[in-house]
Amino acid sequence: YDPFLPTEKGFKIFSQPDRKLKEVWIQDSTLWIDNEHAVEFDIDEIPANGVLPLNDTSIIYWGGMDSDAEYLSLDSHSTPKELTSYPDWDKTNNQEEPIFKYVKNSVLNNDHTRFISFYGYFKRFLILNTDGHIIKDVIIKAPPYEEAIKEDMQDRVVYYHIPPRTNGKYIYVMCKNSTRAENRIQELQVWNWDGEPIARYDMDRKLTLFSVSDKEKKIYAVDGDTEDVIYVYDLPVP
């Protein structure tokens, strides 16, 4: 998920241990954290599975263990509100907790009116508004494709394994479009906010995290197994 809320100086990010939204910035090569003006949220369970900051006082977060709600919303002056329950896509009667079965990576659009979630074990994504209403449900039936989960967790491929990014107009997401036996390098998929496919590109290496700069027209990426290297790609603009 994309946990950053941009500010004039840097960004705000949700600090899980103390359940606070804090501003962070770099000045003169020094990292600064504003603890004095941090906003605290009343959450019983630390939302370790995902948080999307909407503004200075509101967040959307993922339901935790034993929760029937997939997404909840919360502002600093109220109690959590359930937005939507988990989907029922897997028909194999798998007894895993939904928090594990429906693991996902998400990103907000630039005006924070909707967000998109790509599901790790399903070639599928949802576009929702911030009230939890589903705008679009898209299934990508590109091989390899299975309608339901068949393997044990340790044997599955996590198709959408990296948080997506957006430049406002398009969503960029990496998909490991292969089986474990094939072990192909992932592809970069480009979608718009109406859930329509724009383009796809085969990548030249394994990547574990990336960011998009619309200003520089670049993608900056890293591989967690390779230290001190940043890979730079021209941003595909269809």
Q: What is the pLDDT of residue 47?
A: 57
Q: What is the pLDDT of residue 100?
A: 87
Q: Would you place residue 173 in the very low, low, confident or very high pLDDT band (cuts 50, 70, 90)?
A: very high
124-133, 135-144, 160-169, 181-190, range with the lowest pLDDT: 181-190
Considering only CA atoms, which of 68, 72, 70 is closest in space to residue 103? 70
Residue 50 above 70 pLDDT? yes
Copy the structure tokens of residue 182: 């094939």
Residue predicted with more confidence, 49 or 97: 97
The CATH number of domain 89-238 is 2.130.10.10: yes
Helix, strand, coil share of the chain (percent; to 5): 5, 45, 55
Residue 117 above 90 pLDDT? yes
Residue 69 above 70 pLDDT? yes
Q: Would you place residue 1 in the very low, low, confident or very high pLDDT band (cuts 50, 70, 90)?
A: low
Q: Would you place residue 153 in the very low, low, confident or very high pLDDT band (cuts 50, 70, 90)?
A: low
Percent of the residues in the chain that have a pLDDT greater than 90, as a whole number: 50
Residue 45 above 90 pLDDT? no
Residue 48 above 60 pLDDT? no
114-118, 120-124, 136-140, range with the lowest pLDDT: 120-124
85 forms beta bridges with 69
Can you tell me the distance from the alpha carbon of 22 to that of 36, in angstroms, rounded to the nearest whole number? 9
CATH 2.130.10.10 domain range(s) in the chain: 89-238
Distance between first and last Cα of the chain = 24
Element of type H or E holding 101: helix 98-101
Copy the structure tokens of residue 218: 């670049």
Please tell me whether the peptide bond between 87 and the residue prior to it is cis, using omega within 30 degrees of 0.
no
Residue 74 above 70 pLDDT? yes
